[in-house]
Amino acid sequence: MDSKTLNSKPSILIITNMGPKPTAPFQGLFVRQQVDALASLQPGYHFMRWHTDSRLNRLLKYPVFFADFVWRFLLNRRKYMILHVHFFYPTIWLALLYKALRNPSAKIIVTCHGSDIYKYQPPGFWYRWCASKVQHWIFTSSALKNRFAVPCSQYTVLSAGIADSFASSEQLDFGSKKIDLLYVGSLDHNKGVDRLIALLPYLKGKRVVIAGTGPMRKQLTEAAAPYPAVSLLGPQSASELAELYQQARCFISLSRNESFGLVMAEAMACFTPVVATFTDGASAQIKDNENGFLLAQNSEQTPLNEQHLLAELQNALTKVWQMPPERYRQMQLAARAGAEQCLVSDVAAKLIGLYQEI
């Protein structure tokens, strides 16, 4: 398949079970950004359109997701040659259904995002059977690939991609920034919001901005009430995030599990060093004491281990805030250099090359 063929026919179909919902309006945004960056190929795009937090939605979202796919693509006259699945299981069943009923010669590419591997260990029979039908795998980090318990000879390690607009941010020196610490992401236990709450007494008097929403928002709001310098914002657009990243002296990631962590890449693209707990995603991006600080977390998360981690986090944040200006500028430049390979335009170019190869 050459580039002329790719550009003359809508032969790529991108399928994902991620989609925006009221409490997470930007969920799956990076897949949407990839689709937009691949616009020259005119890809088809199927995502979870009906997505809310209601009990009815939790029961019926996958049946509706499958039915919508049948209506929009199985009964469509267009014929797709490459089926690119974002989030392996159970989304893969849609690609297998299309291959069985519409185009047996279609090739399947899967991008794994993290929990589609983490939550299926050890993998069951149907998980393995579906995996055997995939022609090429994409993992968002090498560490995530190493966790994949199913043999795969054909694979690529490739970031999900951040918006190119983050690369236009201006480098501000430490004294010009107005935010001491920034957190962006879902407000839940896996993202370490309980750790953020535990850090609040240490952060007293610091200008802290927290952007996002999630199940722990109420708990965080109550905990932050005694600290007037802490601001809680809802979900932010890309332009709003770029302004926050640019103004932040330090970005913090407290995740327990993370396959990549695009918010870290976005922050670094805006010349902001990152303090992060060790995850697959953080280890793929953070070079300790070079573009930020990477802190080990014990797999046995006992109260004693958590207290030790909190002390290490406080120490790392102090290092950033007390860093000599020239050293801080060096860390900013290293952060930016590490993030440039994550720009969605670069990711899209690599995907086009992969589609042509397959």
pLDDT digits (tens, 9 = 90+) for 167-209: 999 999 999 999 999 999 999 999 999 999 999 999 999 999 9
Mean pLDDT across 312-329: 98
pTM beyond 0.75: the answer is yes
Tokens representing 314 are: 């406080």
Query: Which ranges in 185-237 belong to alpha helices (H)?
Result: 193-199, 217-224
253: helix, strand or coil: strand
User: pLDDT, tens digit, for every residue of 74-118?
Assistant: 999 899 999 999 999 999 999 999 999 999 999 999 999 889 999
Q: Which residue has the tokens 């199913």?
A: 150
Dist. CA 246–CA 38, nearest whole Å: 28
Q: Which two tokens stand for residue 339?
A: 């993030």
SS3 label, residue 307: helix
> If you average pLDDT over every residue of the chain, what do you get?
93
| Contact (CB, 8 A) for 268 and 285 | yes
Tell me the pLDDT tens digit for each residue of 126-140.
Answer: 999 999 999 999 999
How do the residues of the chain divide into helix, strand and coil, expressed in percent and rounded to 5?
Answer: 45, 15, 40
Could you give the CA distance from residue 216 to residue 97 in angstroms, rounded to a whole number? 38
Domains delineated in the chain: 3-161+343-357 (3.40.50.2000), 164-341 (3.40.50.2000)
Structure tokens at 241: 């995030």
Q: Which pLDDT score, from 0 to 100, does residue 280 have? A: 92
Give the confidence band of 124 by pLDDT, cuts at 50, 70, 90: very high
CA 199 to the chain's CA centroid: 24
Asked whether the beta carbons of 251 and 195 are under 8 A apart, the reply is: no
Place of tokens 């004693």: 304
For the chain, the residue count is 358
> Rounded to the nearest 5°, which phi and psi values hold at 224?
-85, -10
The answer to whether 245 and 270 have CB atoms below 8 angstroms apart is: yes
